[in-house]
């Protein structure tokens, strides 16, 4: 039987305590549905999109201009909520990559490197302000192209995008104070490859610190979400950013590979899967290229018995269900201390039944579309493995739109550490719940993964927070909150989650040589 069939056949829309603890529910199916979503429905509140000017074709952005690819090849970008084609995107080949690198090199040697930091900073401030002015339009585009809710793109992504440019604009003329007693020099030409879950935010994380510290950039957005980067390029033109300081080349993995392999690139910054990250380590070995990697994660959210349970449940919701679970630092494993397990599960089950899944442009929507068919298939495949390995699935009864790619908010109980759903990144709105008895067991379980990006701790006791945080092998640990971001705070992983930090003063380090 196919993965999809199994995943769609078995979910339990449970109401009885028993079923949540692993036994099959005994109440009839009709009584097992929790239709909060329908009873408490909201009138549609669609964000306007009639003013959005999508181009039918997007070209490459090289040397400050939009240029056709040498390859003459274009691919479609679709709206994952409707499966409608939005535009055609240029596919850059090795010749286009070479053009972009040459343009970045010229801009580095002739303009950007010799320019005083305070002048570079002015461009960054200008870009930050333009992003603020265009924030609503960019948020709508982000939602249309990527499937994330307007609530998230408008209230989280775009404010953080401009905040990152503002923050690093401030460092541009203060580099000599960033690393006391040492001199920071730019590295040169930076190749930057980003994924599809936070397209503009990942672009900002990469571009802002690189530009502030005097490097020039070639950005490669993800294949399914290139459009907003090209609208950002228009803002670079409006800001009169000198030609070639930022170049944007679109395309699939092969374009990224050509960028990584180009001989005249000094630095590669990559955010994406651990699998591709490992390829990049091999590709740059023995070259002068510096590398930073932000890879996958399998974060544990740990709830102790003394935690404020209602707040913790909201933290879990923010940690895994918003942005469809398309978050590398998503709290995708929930570790609950045994005494509060029934209460947490009951509240979680009731809460996911209230989450609204549907049109991402509707301001009331909590869970938007899965970014691509490929990603949806991956979620189905892993959920299927969870069912086959014996875990129990609890799913929201949300009705999913007929067109587009969707997955309802779900969680697994009866998960053991060896299950694939406890080890591998699902990258969808699916949580794996496990229990623990002692703090030591929680730490051991939390660390029992190849990843080490993030974690969460929920407890009333400050001393417990300090103990646990000190022993978790994770780059970021949130205490009594989850998924909070700030440009001043460094972000990055341990183990197979990568190396290097983005954000804060630490975020300058990958782009400078210190002497």
Restricting to residues 46-105, name those near Mg ion by CB under 5 A.
Answer: 77
Q: Is 224 in the site for Mg ion (CB under 5 A)?
A: yes
List 47, 152, 223, 294, catalytic entry: 294
Q: Which does 222 bind (CB under 5 to 8 A by kind): Mg ion, ligand NAP, none?
A: ligand NAP
How far is the C-alpha of 488 from the C-alpha of 502, rounded, in Å? 9
The site map against Mg ion for 267-286 (x = CB under 5 A) is --------------------
Q: How far is the CB of 148 from ligand NAP (least distance, A)?
A: 13
How far is the C-alpha of 30 from the C-alpha of 485, rounded, in Å? 42
Cβ-based nearer residue to Mg ion, 376 or 442 = 376
Binding site for ligand NAP (CB under 6 A): 193-197, 220, 222-223, 252-253, 256-257, 260, 271-273, 276, 279, 294-297, 328, 425, 427, 453, 493, 498
Indicate the helix (H) or strand (E) that contains 441.
helix 439-447
Q: How far is the CB of 466 from ligand NAP (least distance, A)?
A: 25
Cβ-based nearer residue to Mg ion, 76 or 338 = 76
**C-beta of residue 362 within 8 angstroms of C-beta of residue 150:** yes
In degrees, rounded to 5, the angle at the alpha carbon of residue 363 between the alpha carbons of residues 359 and 369 is 30
Q: Which does 328 bind (CB under 5 to 8 A by kind): Mg ion, ligand NAP, none?
A: ligand NAP
Q: Is 145 in the site for Mg ion (CB under 5 A)?
A: yes
Please state, in angstroms and as integers, the Cα–Cα distance from residue 215 to each residue in 95, 113, 123, 126, following that order: 22, 7, 14, 18
Q: In the annotation, is 328 catalytic?
A: yes
Q: Is 375 in the site for Mg ion (CB under 5 A)?
A: no
Cβ-based nearer residue to ligand NAP, 332 or 365 = 332
How far is the C-alpha of 199 from the C-alpha of 389, rounded, in Å? 34
**C-beta of residue 272 within 8 angstroms of C-beta of residue 195:** yes
Sign of CA dihedral 226, 4, 428, 450: negative
Given phi > 0 = left and psi -120 to 50 = alpha, else beta, which region is 442?
alpha
Q: Which does 296 bind (CB under 5 to 8 A by kind): Mg ion, ligand NAP, none?
A: ligand NAP
Q: Give the count of alpha carbons within 13 A of 252, CB side only.
A: 7
Q: In the annotation, is 294 catalytic?
A: yes
Q: Residue holding tokens 């920071």?
A: 184
Q: How far is the CB of 403 from Mg ion (least distance, A)?
A: 14
Q: Which does 152 bind (CB under 5 to 8 A by kind): ligand NAP, Mg ion, none?
A: none
Indicate the helix (H) or strand (E) that contains 171.
helix 158-171
How far is the C-alpha of 29 from the C-alpha of 497, rounded, in Å? 41
How far is the C-alpha of 477 from the C-alpha of 296, rounded, in Å? 15
Cβ-based nearer residue to ligand NAP, 126 or 495 = 495
User: In a 3-state reduction of DSSP, which class is residue 160?
Assistant: helix
Q: Which does 271 bind (CB under 5 to 8 A by kind): Mg ion, ligand NAP, none?
A: ligand NAP
Q: Select from 43-51, 140-148, 179-187, 326-334 the region that touches Mg ion (CB under 5 A).
A: 140-148
Q: Which does 77 bind (CB under 5 to 8 A by kind): ligand NAP, Mg ion, none?
A: Mg ion
* Interface with Mg ion (CB under 5 A): 77, 145, 224
User: Catalytic amino acids?
Assistant: 294, 328
């Amino acid at each position: 039987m196919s993965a999809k069939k199994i995943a769609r056949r078995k979910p339990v829309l449970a109401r009885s305590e028993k079923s949540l603890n692993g036994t099959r529910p005994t109440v009839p199916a009709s009584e097992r549905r929790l239709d909060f979503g329908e009873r408490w429905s909201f009138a549609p509140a669609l964000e306007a999109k009639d003013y959005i000017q999508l181009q039918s074709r997007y070209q490459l952005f090289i040397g400050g201009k939009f240029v056709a690819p040498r390859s003459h090849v274009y691919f479609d970008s679709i709206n994952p909520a409707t499966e409608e084609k939005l535009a055609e995107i240029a596919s850059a080949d090795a010749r286009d990559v070479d053009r972009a690198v040459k343009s970045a090199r010229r801009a580095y040697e002739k303009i950007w490197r010799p320019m005083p930091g305070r002048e570079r900073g002015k461009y960054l401030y200008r870009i930050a302000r333009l992003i603020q002015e265009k924030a609503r339009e960019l948020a709508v585009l982000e939602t249309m192209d990527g499937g994330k809710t307007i609530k998230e793109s408008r209230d989280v992504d775009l404010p953080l995008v401009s905040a990152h440019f503002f923050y690093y604009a401030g460092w541009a003329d203060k580099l000599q104070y960033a690393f006391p007693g040492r001199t920071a020099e730019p590295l040169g030409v930076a190749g930057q490859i980003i994924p599809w879950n936070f397209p503009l935010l990942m672009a900002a994380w990469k571009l802002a610190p690189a530009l502030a510290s005097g490097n020039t950039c070639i950005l490669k957005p993800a294949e399914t979400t290139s459009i907003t980067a090209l609208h950002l390029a228009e803002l670079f033109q409006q800001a009169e950013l000198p030609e070639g300081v930022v170049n944007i080349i679109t395309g699939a993995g092969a374009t990224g590979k050509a960028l990584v392999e180009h001989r005249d690139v000094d630095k590669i910054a990559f955010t994406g899967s651990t699998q591709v990250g490992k390829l990049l380590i091999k590709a740059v070995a023995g070259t002068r290229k510096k590398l930073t990697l932000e890879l996958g994660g399998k974060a544990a959210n740990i709830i102790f018995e003394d935690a404020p349970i209602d707040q913790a449940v909201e933290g879990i919701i923010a940690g895994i269900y918003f942005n469809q679970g398309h978050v590398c630092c998503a709290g995708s494993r929930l570790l609950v201390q045994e005494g509060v397990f029934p209460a947490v599960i009951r509240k979680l089950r009731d809460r996911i039944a209230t989450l609204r899944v549907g049109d991402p442009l509707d301001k009331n929507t909590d869970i938007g579309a899965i970014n691509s068919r490929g990603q949806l298939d991956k979620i189905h495949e892993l959920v299927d493995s969870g069912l086959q390995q014996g875990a129990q699935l609890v799913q929201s009864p949300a009705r999913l739109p007929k067109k587009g790619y969707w997955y309802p908010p779900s969680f697994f109980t009866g998960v053991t550490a060896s299950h694939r759903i406890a080890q591998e990144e699902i990258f969808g709105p699916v949580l794996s719940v496990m229990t623990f008895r002692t703090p030591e067991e929680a730490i051991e379980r939390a660390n029992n993964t190849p990843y080490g990006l993030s974690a969460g701790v929920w407890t009333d006791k400050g001393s417990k927070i300090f103990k646990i945080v000190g022993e978790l092998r994770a780059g970021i640990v949130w205490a009594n909150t989850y998924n909070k971001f700030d440009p001043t705070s460094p972000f990055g992983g341990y183990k197979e989650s990568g190396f290097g930090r983005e954000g804060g003063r630490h975020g300058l380090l990958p782009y400078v040589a210190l002497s």
